[in-house]
Copies of this chain bind each other. A is one copy, B any other.
Amino acid sequence: MDSESQLVERTGRAIPSSKGRRGLANLRLGIGDDAAVLVPTGRAEWVLSCDAFLEGVHFLEKVHPPDSVGYKALVRAASDLVAMGATPRLFLLTLALPSRLTGDWLDSFLRGMGRAARLLDMRLAGGDTTRSQSVFINVTVLGEASLGQAVARSGAQPGDIIYVSGKLGGAQLGLELIINRGTRGPGLSRLLRPHLYPSIRTKLGEWLGRHGVPSAMMDISDGLSTDLDRLCRASHAGARLWAARIPRVSIPDLISRQRKRLNLDPLKLALHGGEDYELLFTVSHRKVKRLRHAPGFRELTPIGEITSRRGMILIGEDGRSETLEPAGWDPFRKKS
């Protein structure tokens, strides 16, 4: 047996991948063939997305535990489905890695990805493996939604209320800490969790899609300022945000001494920090009261409103308005 085939077998053992009926579709053929074969069995729409995760760009081999790399590669891809109001179902894994990492590193990576697959109730349907100089991962995800349920980012209307789920900035705080302090230290593991093992709002996303509540929705992967700008541009609109309302990570005492050195301003982390994978969505006044029935309603915060005037305005805690520029993560803003 060639060694690529052995890798495929190891992957299939570590990650849920059996065939059979599943949700609204039947997986007739899974990993190991040229392609996966799916048979739609109901009236549904299918949501398809892919997400790259690269050593040196999105994670560092020397810093990030391999099980976190595997876990996060799947969760961040699935987040794009949840952000459409869809239910994640299947994924394909493209994995390019140096031969030296095909032992323990790969086992740990697959364990992390298997854990994420079980948490999200997703199944591996195929993929591609090859060698490379550094680790390159691409995850393609397929989800299902009822017909007409998937929510685009382009439907926001002036006057709609802008909501976010959870608190923002926690993943960026974790990144700053792991780079400056490593993975060991008292109280550190809780603070690193949003960066290493992020949760996504599967139930909330499905509920919002099923009940047709949001006029537009996306996930916050590159930072609120950058992602809200994208939502506004897609909707041909602008936004006004109240700084005081933006739910943000709290920085505990144990690291507040380092706060200055690390540039840990909670509002800046919340505005521009990436990888929170919280949901950002807009709701018309008419539909706001329906939100009360949403799973995790208490973790939803209205942070501003959509305006017909383009651009984003941030109203500071002192009442003064300033222009908010997208300053989150943009891979091409940095030099490579």
Please, which residues of chain B bring their CB within 8 A of the CB of A49? 34-36, 92, 126
Q: Are A34 and B3 touching (Cβ within 8 A)? A: no
Q: How far is the CA of A230 from the CA of B154 in the complex (A)?
A: 46
**Does A28 lie within 8 Å of B150, measured CB to CB?**
yes
Is A18 an interface residue when CB atoms closer than 8 A count as contact? no
Given contacts A102-B332, A128-B52, contact A40 B37 (CB under 8 A): no
Q: Contacts A3-B332, A127-B50 given: A45-B38 contact, CB under 8 Å?
A: yes
A window 4-52: CB within 8 A of B: 4-5, 7, 28-29, 32-40, 44-52
Asked if A333 is an interface residue, CB under 8 A from chain B, the answer is yes
Chain B CB within 8 A of A138 CB: yes
Q: Which residue of B lies closest to A128 (CB)?
A: B52
Assess the A36–B7 pair: CB atoms within 8 A.
no
Q: Please tell me if the beta carbons of B50 and A126 are within 8 angstroms of each other in the complex.
A: yes
Contact of A333 among B2, B136, B234 (CB under 8 A): B2
Question: How far is it, in angstroms, between the C-alpha of A80 and the C-alpha of B138 when the chains are bound?
Answer: 18
Known A-B contacts A33-B153, A34-B218; the reply to A334 vs B131 at CB < 8 A is yes
A330 at interface by CB-CB < 8 Å: yes
B96 contacts A34, C-beta separation under 8 Å: no
**Residues of chain B lying within 8 A (CB to CB) of residue A32:** 234
Q: Is A130 an interface residue (CB 8 A)?
A: yes
Question: Counting CB contacts under 8 A, is A119 at the interface?
Answer: no
- Asked if A179 is an interface residue, CB under 8 A from chain B, the answer is no
Task: Kindly state whether residue A129 has any CB partner on chain B within 8 Å.
Answer: yes
A134: which B residues are within 8 A, CB to CB? 133
The count of identical subunits is 2
Most buried by B among A35, A131, A132: A35
Bound-complex Cα distance A333 to B99 (A): 9
Q: A33-B84, A128-B50 are in contact. Are A138 and B94 (CB under 8 A)?
A: yes
Q: Which of the residues B47, B54, B99 comes within 8 Å of A36, measured between beta carbons? A: B47
Chain B CB within 8 A of A284 CB: no
Mask, A79-103, CB within 8 Å of B = 1, is 0110110100010101010111010
Q: Kindly list 19 other residue pairs between chains A and B, CB separation below 8 angstroms, not including A132-B336, A138-B140.
A: A2-B326, A5-B233, A29-B150, A33-B152, A34-B49, A34-B218, A35-B49, A35-B84, A37-B48, A48-B90, A49-B126, A52-B94, A52-B96, A52-B128, A56-B133, A94-B138, A131-B336, A133-B336, A136-B136
A to B CB contacts below 8 Å, 20 in the list: A2-B226, A2-B230, A5-B233, A32-B234, A33-B152, A33-B154, A34-B81, A35-B47, A36-B49, A39-B147, A40-B44, A40-B45, A48-B126, A49-B92, A50-B94, A52-B94, A54-B96, A56-B133, A98-B336, A140-B140
Interface residues, chain A, with chain B CB atoms under 8 Å away = 1-5, 7, 28-29, 32-40, 44-52, 54, 56-58, 80-81, 83-84, 86, 90, 92, 94, 96, 98-100, 102, 125-134, 136, 138, 140-143, 145, 147, 150, 152-154, 218-219, 226, 229-230, 233-234, 326, 330-336
